[in-house]
Structure 1
Amino acid sequence: MHERAGRTARPEDLIDLDALLAAYEAVRPDMAEPQQRVVFGTSGHRGSSLDGAFNQAHILAIAQAVAEYRAAQRIDGPLFLGRDTHALSEPAFRSTLEVLVANGVQVLIDARDGFTPTPAVSHAILTHNRANTRQADGVLITPSHNPPRDGGIKYNPPSGGPAGSEATAAIAARANQLIEGGLTEVRRVPFAQAYATAGRFDFLAAYVDDLPSALDLDVVREAGVRIAADPLGGAAVAYWGAIAERHGLDLTVVNQTVDPRWAFMPLDTDGKIRMDCSSPAAMANLIGMMQGQARYDLAFGNDADADRHGIVTPDGGLMNPNHFLAAAIAYLFQNRPGWGAQVGVGKTLVSSSMIDRVVAGLGRRLVETPVGFKHFVPGLLDGSVGFGGEESAGASFLRRDGTVWTTDKDGLLLCLLAAEIQGRTGQSASRLYADLTDRYGAPAYARMDAPATRAQKARLAALSPADVTATALAGQPIVDILTTAPGNGEPIGGLKVVTRDAWFAARPSGTEDVYKIYAESFLGADHLAAVQAEARAVVDAALAG
């Protein structure tokens, strides 16, 4: 924990905007450096212009690769293009638009010339595709909750959610080829021409007006739930006020500041500015505002592209994302009569096993997937999965009639669900979770990092169950060893070891020389510590073998 975690950033913590934007134009990536090549992670290509990892060359090449990919896939409908409030998002938006228009793509940009949350783009794609044979897709310019120095770009195909590995691998490979060829094959028109050619779409109205199809906002209004919303300087800044006005909610936007330096933000646990609404340190302002007051029943926070949710309650503080996922599932599957009995629940392998117990208690089917929201897309799209959620505070769920709402994470939706829970039950989501622990037990959950070389990380990602020789973990017999996900059979890129009352999962980091150990125990903090200690030994033995 950094010594100033949770305290407002100082001038020396802030980025130099001029240097950051100048580097976007001036720096040419060194393709001999792996960190400077185009690489799509679980949420697109991310990096900083200052590191040669997110520069104009990258974006021009990615945009050209996307144009070629969609043509090869015969995607001939409009492409919805949105951006968040990061400093690098504006120049990247301009570069992307210049290339897409030059390639003859019908691009739709925000009619209000504003910022666009990720869920609003997913919602727009799916709404269009329900009514049209010419299928739409989308591009989002965002690095999500990453620090202000970073930029990001991700592609959403006609399924509306994050692109699968096959698509992103093809786009990345072609983009790197284009950069290595000096961008000579990239088509481009001046921005003024591209901006004038692009069509306009009112993302805000389309999303906000349709919310009652997914949520019971009448019960929120009638119960008089008092809400504070903090967009954390992100793309939701205009959306919360519009939601309050359109649906008559007692909702106050307590911070309307948009500052690409994020000078108002408290530092995260590592001392960096990071708009992570699941972090108590980053959410310190909102948590402090809620302590010892009676003005608001709930407070919400979102990250920069509003695909994550942060829920603060007076009786529980900032809810752990795992806790809110469990409470949301318990509530939804008892209050959505339009969802069929066969509709299942999606979770990642590193999310809390409290979800497993809640789902079993509901008599529902559990769909456990690898990390990455893209794994929930098929189930949400066809309505076979009612809820998909990640431990990192990203989730979405179906409309009230059991049809798809978004296939990307929706932080606005999950925040408003907390208000619906409060309005209908008269108690907070944190109180609902406490009731669940009375029934199912109270798990202790933590994540830690362990050092690993690049070779060790590659070995970890390729392990099989046979590589684990241990038969017990922290005093309990091992009942399962997983390297593929039960929900879809996909590789998890690591290892999960399960006992009756505990588990751990180990996955290599994509950006650092460490592997991540997620662990949980229903036998208390001391048992969790034993699980964590033995997890390292189990992984080290498997890697050595």
Structure 2
Amino acid sequence: MAIHPLAGQLAPHDSLVNIPELMTAYYLKKPRIETHPEEQVSFGTSGHRGSALLVSFNEDHILAITQAIAEYRQAQKITGPLYLGKDTHALSEAAFKTALSVLTANNVRVRIQLNGGFTPTPVISHAVLTHNKIQSDLSDGVVITPSHNPPEDGGIKYNSIKGGPADKDITDRIANRANELLGKKLEGVKRFTPEEVEKSGLIEPFDYINHYVDDLENIIDMTSIAKAKVRIGVDPMGGSGIHYWEPIAKKYGLDITLVNPEVDPTFRFVPVDKDGRIRMDCSSPYSMSGLLKLKDDFDIAVGNDPDYDRHGIVCAGSGLMNPNAYLGVAIEYLSQHREAWPNDVQFGKTLVSSGMIDRVVKGLDRTLCEVPVGFKWYVESMFEGSMAFGGEESAGASFLRKDGTVWTTDKDGFILALLAAEILAVTGKDPQTLYLEQVEKYGQPFYKRIDVVATPAQKNILGALDTKDVTQTELAGETIESVLTHAPGNGAAIGGLKVSTKNGWFAARPSGTENVYKIYLESFVSEEHLAELEKEAKILVDSVLKA
């Protein structure tokens, strides 16, 4: 895809989302699920997402989804408070109020941030887990966020009693019930008025900020960061974690500078991404171009997306790290500096993350667990403490506490950002320097992800492939060593396929929201070999889709 001429620059004023129009659409547009299936509730890897303007995230959706969640909680006898969070997207505030009206009408106690503030995804996971560790009335959580998606989007996801994204059985149950309610014109949905919500006595203000910040010393070596006087620059990118950094700096004596304190639902201060759209993607050099201009002012600079489940790491002199590269560095550092972690604990990666991680984990003589795309696949193992680290190529990860017990079972952008500062403080080398040392030892990876147009029928074929559907024996001049349609780490279907040779691989899987399939490619040979991989991968997938 060609790079948009405005990529890395601020968006023209006339291209910003019209917030009044968006909010009007949220309340007035109604999903037509019988004739427009794209307007149904659909839970992808991170909940239900859409835009009110496209009638895919509207008040009716949230009414139905929240009622379905309330019914699920009742069926499972989950009687503790529900921890409810929201990010800074415009639709998040409206959906938050809608969700509150349904939850309280269903007699659910709800814990929200003091003074109605924002609450990041990892903070909700942390709160659920710390509650359930000491209380008998189990809790769960809901986060209202479309993550890094554009300003006109909305999203909602359900976190189970284990703190992380609910598994497919649960989300299918919620989605099916929600669509049933939509089909019945919301008959069966209980809802309070704002006055009834206020009088219900079910809203419990909760100090999420201090609850989370006070616990950080149990997962990050804050003392070493403070002693080393690491200069940390933070671009909150207008996200939900903006009010956490000052308390972190104050409590632990850290040198933290917020380079942009703005919150605005148009996100007008975020440079546009490679396609010319505003997207708060902290792994994109275009969206992060504002922070990159300041990289030499700090030892480590970090950015996070609106719900703070992703991280972008900027090192002085070298710039924004590739997310895959940082995952490998984080794994190597943590395996060597967390003495209480058992030697047999696993390190997790998704099938589409870099093969560098495989090589690093093997070099450490540790155990790798490779799973399909989606952080939900890590929840059980991280909850149990049998997986020390789980990461995704899209710049999301979490890891265990210093003592080897669970911290969050959802991605946590705060701790990955602070870990970069810890790495520099303890080793004297920034993460990019350590990555180059890994390249010297394990080889240089060349990685790429592309989107290919596909019809819904083709996406269905790709999602249901069997290994026998691939008959080729060579790929880009090398013998094919494996063809996977199920993840080796847990045996779960990957919804596509992954083909590997000695020095390269590609994976193809259909998009859950667009009429495209995604191809992930990596070569440990050269850019030319990567190009050959891309050419032959497309041919191979096309042959399977036409078979």
Q: If the length of structure 2 is used for normalisation, what is the TM-score?
A: 0.98
For residue 152 of structure 1, give the secondary structure of its aligned residue in structure 2: strand
Residue 95 of structure 1 aligns with which residue? 98
Residue 183 of structure 1 aligns with which residue? 186
Residue 309 of structure 2 aligns with which residue? 307
Contact 1:298 1:314 in 2 (8 A): yes
Residue 223 of structure 1 aligns with which residue? 228
Aligned counterpart in structure 2 of residue 515 of structure 1, from 495, 504, 517: 517
1:50-83 deviation digits (Å, cap 9, x = unpaired): 1111111000111100000111111111100010
Residue 468 of structure 1 aligns with which residue? 470
Residue 329 of structure 1 aligns with which residue? 331
1:258 counterpart letter in structure 2: V
For residue 146 of structure 1, give the secondary structure of its aligned residue in structure 2: coil
The gaps in structure 1 that reach 5 residues or longer are none
Residue 8 of structure 1 aligns with which residue? 10
1:70-109 correspondence to structure 2 within 5 Å: 70-109=73-112
Residue 69 of structure 2 aligns with which residue? 66
Aligned counterpart in structure 2 of residue 444 of structure 1, from 437, 443, 446: 446
Distance in 2, matches of 1:202 and 1:19, equals 33
Residue 37 of structure 1 aligns with which residue? 40
Aligned counterpart in structure 1 of residue 213 of structure 2, from 208, 214, 220: 208
Residue 151 of structure 1 aligns with which residue? 154
Question: Shift of residue 193 of structure 1?
Answer: 2.9
For residue 334 of structure 1, give the secondary structure of its aligned residue in structure 2: helix
For residue 90 of structure 2, give the secondary structure of its aligned residue in structure 1: coil
Question: Shift of residue 192 of structure 1?
Answer: 3.3
Q: Determine if the alignment matches structure 1 residue 344 to structure 2 residue 346.
A: yes
Distance in 2, matches of 1:544 and 1:273, equals 36
2:230 counterpart letter in structure 1: V
Distance in 2, matches of 1:484 and 1:79, equals 34
Aligned counterpart in structure 2 of residue 241 of structure 1, from 232, 239, 246: 246
Distance in 2, matches of 1:241 and 1:260, equals 22
Distance in 1, matches of 2:232 and 2:464, equals 46
Contact 1:221 1:250 in 2 (8 A): yes
Question: Shift of residue 133 of structure 1?
Answer: 1.6
Contact 1:112 1:202 in 2 (8 A): no
Distance in 1, matches of 2:304 and 2:194, equals 31
For residue 275 of structure 1, give the secondary structure of its aligned residue in structure 2: coil
Question: Shift of residue 449 of structure 1?
Answer: 1.6
Question: Shift of residue 112 of structure 1?
Answer: 3.5
Distance in 1, matches of 2:195 and 2:384, equals 40
Residue 139 of structure 2 aligns with which residue? 136
For residue 257 of structure 2, give the secondary structure of its aligned residue in structure 1: strand
Distance in 1, matches of 2:180 and 2:107, equals 21
Distance in 2, matches of 1:127 and 1:475, equals 52
Question: Shift of residue 455 of structure 1?
Answer: 0.8
Distance in 2, matches of 1:192 and 1:129, equals 31
Question: Shift of residue 195 of structure 1?
Answer: 3.9
After the TM superposition, list the runs of 4 or more consecutive aligned residues in structure 1 that deviate by more than 6 angstroms.
Answer: none
Residue 286 of structure 2 aligns with which residue? 281
1:448 counterpart letter in structure 2: I
Residue 267 of structure 1 aligns with which residue? 272
Residue 500 of structure 1 aligns with which residue? 502
Question: Shift of residue 315 of structure 1?
Answer: 2.8
Distance in 2, matches of 1:411 and 1:246, equals 19
Identity across the alignment (%)? 55
Distance in 2, matches of 1:261 and 1:120, equals 24
Contact 1:396 1:414 in 2 (8 A): yes
Distance in 2, matches of 1:255 and 1:21, equals 26
For residue 160 of structure 1, give the secondary structure of its aligned residue in structure 2: coil
1:231 counterpart letter in structure 2: P
Contact 1:126 1:158 in 2 (8 A): yes
After superposing the two structures, state which structure 1 stretch, 27-36 or 401-410, moved more. Answer: 27-36
After superposing the two structures, state which structure 1 stretch, 238-247 or 320-329, moved more. Answer: 238-247
2:207 counterpart letter in structure 1: D
Contact 1:119 1:307 in 2 (8 A): yes
Residue 537 of structure 1 aligns with which residue? 539
Contact 1:469 1:542 in 2 (8 A): no
Distance in 2, matches of 1:542 and 1:16, equals 43
2:332 counterpart letter in structure 1: A
1:144 counterpart letter in structure 2: S
1:224-264 deviation digits (Å, cap 9, x = unpaired): 00001011000011011111111110011111100000111
1:6-61 deviation digits (Å, cap 9, x = unpaired): 00111012011101011111111111212111001111111111111111100011
Q: Determine if the alignment matches structure 1 residue 372 to structure 2 residue 374.
A: yes
Distance in 1, matches of 2:196 and 2:284, equals 42
The gaps in structure 2 that reach 5 residues or longer are none
Residue 359 of structure 1 aligns with which residue? 361
Distance in 2, matches of 1:447 and 1:510, equals 16
Residue 56 of structure 2 aligns with which residue? 53
1:255 counterpart letter in structure 2: N
2:118 counterpart letter in structure 1: F
After superposing the two structures, state which structure 1 stretch, 189-198 or 121-130, moved more. Answer: 189-198
Distance in 1, matches of 2:247 and 2:208, equals 12
1:237 counterpart letter in structure 2: I
Distance in 1, matches of 2:152 and 2:46, equals 17
Contact 1:36 1:53 in 2 (8 A): yes
1:351-376 deviation digits (Å, cap 9, x = unpaired): 00000000001111110000000001
1:328-364 deviation digits (Å, cap 9, x = unpaired): 0010000000100110100000000000000001111
Q: Determine if the alignment matches structure 1 residue 172 to structure 2 residue 175.
A: yes
Q: Determine if the alignment matches structure 1 residue 296 to structure 2 residue 298.
A: yes
Contact 1:83 1:93 in 2 (8 A): yes
Number of corresponding residues? 542
Q: Determine if the alignment matches structure 1 residue 423 to structure 2 residue 425.
A: yes
Q: What RMSD in Å do the two structures reach over aligned CA positions?
A: 0.8
Contact 1:234 1:258 in 2 (8 A): yes
Q: If the length of structure 1 is used for normalisation, what is the TM-score?
A: 0.99
